Amino acid sequence: MSRRRTPPQPLPMEPFFRSLPGCHGILQAIAEEPDDDLHRLILADWLDDHGYSLRAEFIRLSLQIAQTPEDSPEWSGLQAQWKKWIHRSDEQEQWWDIRSQLVPGVELLYERGMLEVAEMPATRFTIVAATLYKRVDCRKLILLDALECLWLGRPELAYLDTLFFSVTI
């Protein structure tokens, strides 16, 4: 049984998914049970059925990579597929390149096919936390240079699965 969580409400969605109302229930299931890859595979099937095969392929490939140990014989082949996939720019621009525009000054990253990781200086988090959680269901946060702990009291931290922070001394 997968771990359940209470995601932010209303559920933040990538602009790509906002324009596809038929998939919102699947996205809610992913948000509530983020460790259950079955929901992500169902989303990939739905995307395939609705003509978004590139995004479906991205989700499936991301899941394969996440589930494959680096010392596995399949690892190098998956990495080659990933590099080939990344260089397809025409079709993916509508959702791949939006990451830099969603929350200025924050690097947003995909994990297991979904936009759910944010990396930024810790001081930036105190400024953009509310905006971040209106636009992205961020489950992993990486705070850089987190010597000052002003970010500790932010209510948005309740939505995280993982928090990493670095301190430069």
Question: DSSP characters for 67-88?
Answer: HS-TTSTTHHHHHHHHHHHHT-
Looking at the domain assignment, is residue 3 inside a domain? no
pLDDT above 60 for 11: yes
pTM, two decimal places: 0.84
Provide the domain limits for residue 42. Answer: 15-165
Looking at the domain assignment, is residue 9 inside a domain? no
Q: Looking at the 3D structure of the chain, how many domains does it have? A: 1
What pLDDT is attached to residue 145?
Answer: 81
What pLDDT is attached to residue 30?
Answer: 96
Looking at the domain assignment, is residue 38 inside a domain? yes
What pLDDT is attached to residue 84?
Answer: 82
CA distance 91 to 104: 23
Looking at the domain assignment, is residue 6 inside a domain? no
CB 111 within 8 A of CB 119: no
Task: Name residue 140's beta-bridge partners.
Answer: 117, 162
Average pLDDT score, the chain: 86
Which residue has better confidence, 129 or 60?
Answer: 60
Looking at the domain assignment, is residue 32 inside a domain? yes
Mean predicted confidence (pLDDT) in 88-99:
65
Share of the chain above pLDDT 70, in %: 88
